[in-house]
Chain A
């Protein structure tokens, strides 16, 4: 009996682990709500993989626990004398092989859609984001779509607006970000947009997204952008180690309801920038710890 207990012990621990994941969606330990046009593709593929892995997790662990229980040693007993089984080997090579190949091929179109430069949609709004230790500088042109935007990304314009840690766009806009870094590697991570891209020293990397939900409204009387819903405070994080302050490269994503609302905000931001000191970058150089 004591021998059989080991199978039960393994079973209980594995069941607890399984349940802790299974209750995740109920208690909020799950993916944050998606607000990106390609987010459903990512989430769908996540659930496909989750389905297959859950099946194989349950299959192998149940067999293991059952075998540990059923075949616990008894004195005087002998094991079966089997060296292998050719057809079983074929079965458990070909079936998982087919499933894995399906999983791999299923990823390709979503990957192309998210990252291939040739497949990125024509932008409605272009901005250039520069990471450094430890903040983000968002550079906006005076119009949502500057002419020859690839060139604009490389050559700053007198009319550009620089804002620290605030990423503004409007709902439904195809946003193109030209991502750069001043110093070390960083990674632009927007969990709700299912977006992540490293910033690479010496390179400009195009990134795109299209937000399917709005979270802010520009208030012309106060000059502030106000959240439409307290729970829609979408954050920007850094996902590549960049030194001591890695954890505090926090930014915010402002998705305006309409293009007009965005333009109102842009006009205001422009005026505010002009009335400031002539120096371009409003943010002080971050003090190093």
Chain B
């Protein structure tokens, strides 16, 4: 396998590729990673705009009328439009931003470089995995313009709101919601394409990591990023088939009137009855969460790996507890498969199942705690270099603590009776997915940008961006805990109808204003990104004095990555060796004379 691969890679190197093959239909893992990065960032803008619309409605359900604000605006969106906006915000952020950025962009870019491979094991499959995203892009974006509008059943698309359909021959309208017609079909089709894309990626990552490691790169010399991507790929390959099945079942319900999710008695919408069914609505929840709970870890584990490498590099210190860190990731992934039922404690599932799911769920906090303590151990006694990448990585740790701890409240079944589907869960998911994953992604961009494009991002503006983002994202998401404690249900178009929510409405307004400021701060990032792309200071091969293999390749690395296949001599975290003058020792560097070689 590896032999034939290296032959083909050499053959490639001999002739210059056309622009189209080099940058558009590229088989080079670095270009594919960058393609995922750009499309992910574009969808980040779309998803962010939708988030602002959500906040606008929740903060000012009756229109804007503030004494100190110059604009007074009485306009309102319709409740159905609001439901569409928050559903598509979550769908886009999860399936089109975070998963493609973490596994697609960073997985693709880093894996071959960090293990010393010339490319992925299956370059053509890799190209296909990116181009399978494009039908998904087209379908999800055009779904906003179909009759009824895009899907509005939440990112979870629970039946029957999502799946109820008119009888055969009466069109694709849904009696449950105007958005559950063609818009919902588009949602299902788009996610099917995303799933197939991820599946191709995960097979490729596993094969590459198992087969194409450079000489000397044993499994326990791999950087944490690669470990995290490896375990994430295993998670994806095992969980995705179940999501695919669930999507197909709902698609069949919606198009050819099967009744996988319609109960035997059928249901009545107003005076109109669907006719008998033969299925169960809970079936969808089980299938969906069997994928989507591991998906939560798919959306955090790669960031954990990246953050571990960034922290060790800029702490100029050996990663504390490398093997426990690897085991913790494996533990999260393993337990991650037996906790999906915690999304369903109040669903009407047998409560005795809830007890078992609760114990597994609470125990999954343990490997997360181990990781946090090891990160703290890494910066203890360090010599911290506060680069923008490091600040984002440290923000990941600080915020992941909050996101991790808040999860315990909802894992505890009796407490979840109260907290389920309130804003507390919205706070929790945003502390994990925005405050952790997105800070991890920002950290990764600032860190690997010089390797991707050969130029450094501007550090000063990077720090301005970081300070504003850290401040405003906490102002936007932290008060969600508080209104959740007060019982504010999620997905509410207008909470001012309820007396028990009267005194938290000012917090809703505060969060909305903060969200707009948070969005404005991202303009700094965009300008810095594109300015640095063309005008940034030239980066050498190893601007951060880092140890991992990608920094031995030129910046940006040529097709085939390494001038000479590196030979790995040690683990990735040899920083601050007291016997040496330099405070780092790259993985492929020959052993300096007079310094004992490490045992592993």
- Contact surface of A with B, Cβ cutoff 8 Å: 3, 6, 9-10, 13-14, 16-17, 20-21, 24, 27-32, 41-42, 45-46, 49-50, 52-53, 56-57, 60-61, 63-64, 67-68, 71-74, 77-85, 88-89, 92-93, 96-97, 100-101, 103-105, 107-108, 110-112, 114-117, 132-133, 181-185, 187, 189, 191-192, 194-203, 205, 233-235, 237-248, 250, 285-286, 288-289
Enumerate chain B residues within 8 angstroms of A242, measured Cβ to Cβ: 161
Question: A89 is contacted by which of B321, B402, B478 (Cβ under 8 Å)?
Answer: B321
| Distance to closest chain A CB from B169 (angstroms) | 22
A78 touches B383 (CB 8 A): yes
B17 close to A (CB within 8 Å)? no
Enumerate chain A residues within 8 angstroms of B504, measured Cβ to Cβ: 29
B487 touches A31 (CB 8 A): yes
| Distance to closest chain B CB from A227 (angstroms) | 11
B481 touches A289 (CB 8 A): no
B78 touches A29 (CB 8 A): no
Q: A89-B321, A198-B346 are in contact. Are A239 and B418 (CB under 8 A)?
A: no
The complex places the Cα of A195 from the Cα of B485 at a distance, in Å, of 14
Enumerate chain A residues within 8 angstroms of B394, measured Cβ to Cβ: 6, 10, 64, 68
B363 touches A82 (CB 8 A): no
Enumerate chain A residues within 8 angstroms of B575, measured Cβ to Cβ: 79
- Contact surface of B with A, Cβ cutoff 8 Å: 78-80, 82-83, 152-154, 158-161, 164, 175-177, 262-265, 267-271, 277, 280-282, 315-318, 320-324, 346-348, 351-352, 354-355, 358-359, 362-363, 365-366, 369-370, 372-374, 376-377, 379-386, 391, 394-395, 397-398, 401-402, 405-406, 408-409, 412-415, 417-418, 420-422, 467, 470-471, 474, 478-479, 481-483, 485-487, 489, 491-495, 497-500, 503-504, 507, 573, 575-578, 583
B414 touches A110 (CB 8 A): yes
Q: A6-B391, A42-B414, A107-B413 are in contact. Are A202 and B263 (CB under 8 A)?
A: yes
Enumerate chain A residues within 8 angstroms of B282, measured Cβ to Cβ: 200
A182 touches B414 (CB 8 A): no
Enumerate chain B residues within 8 angstroms of A183, measured Cβ to Cβ: 160, 164, 175-176, 267-269
The complex places the Cα of A235 from the Cα of B418 at a distance, in Å, of 14
Question: B405 is contacted by which of A9, A53, A248 (Cβ under 8 Å)?
Answer: A53
A77 touches B507 (CB 8 A): no
The complex places the Cα of A117 from the Cα of B575 at a distance, in Å, of 59
Enumerate chain B residues within 8 angstroms of A100, measured Cβ to Cβ: 362-363, 365-366, 408
Enumerate chain B residues within 8 angstroms of A49, measured Cβ to Cβ: 408-409, 412, 415
A194 touches B418 (CB 8 A): yes
| Distance to closest chain B CB from A199 (angstroms) | 8
The complex places the Cα of A48 from the Cα of B271 at a distance, in Å, of 48
B362 touches A103 (CB 8 A): yes
Q: A45-B414, A60-B372 are in contact. Are A71 and B384 (CB under 8 A)?
A: yes
The complex places the Cα of A194 from the Cα of B269 at a distance, in Å, of 30
A80 touches B381 (CB 8 A): yes
B401 touches A61 (CB 8 A): yes
Q: A77-B383, A197-B348 are in contact. Are A60 and B376 (CB under 8 A)?
A: yes
A289 touches B80 (CB 8 A): yes
A237 touches B269 (CB 8 A): no
The complex places the Cα of A184 from the Cα of B262 at a distance, in Å, of 10
Q: Can you list 10 A-B contacts (CB < 8 A)?
A: A20-B479, A21-B481, A49-B409, A82-B377, A83-B573, A84-B321, A84-B324, A133-B270, A191-B418, A239-B422
| Distance to closest chain B CB from A43 (angstroms) | 9
Enumerate chain A residues within 8 angstroms of B269, measured Cβ to Cβ: 133, 182-183
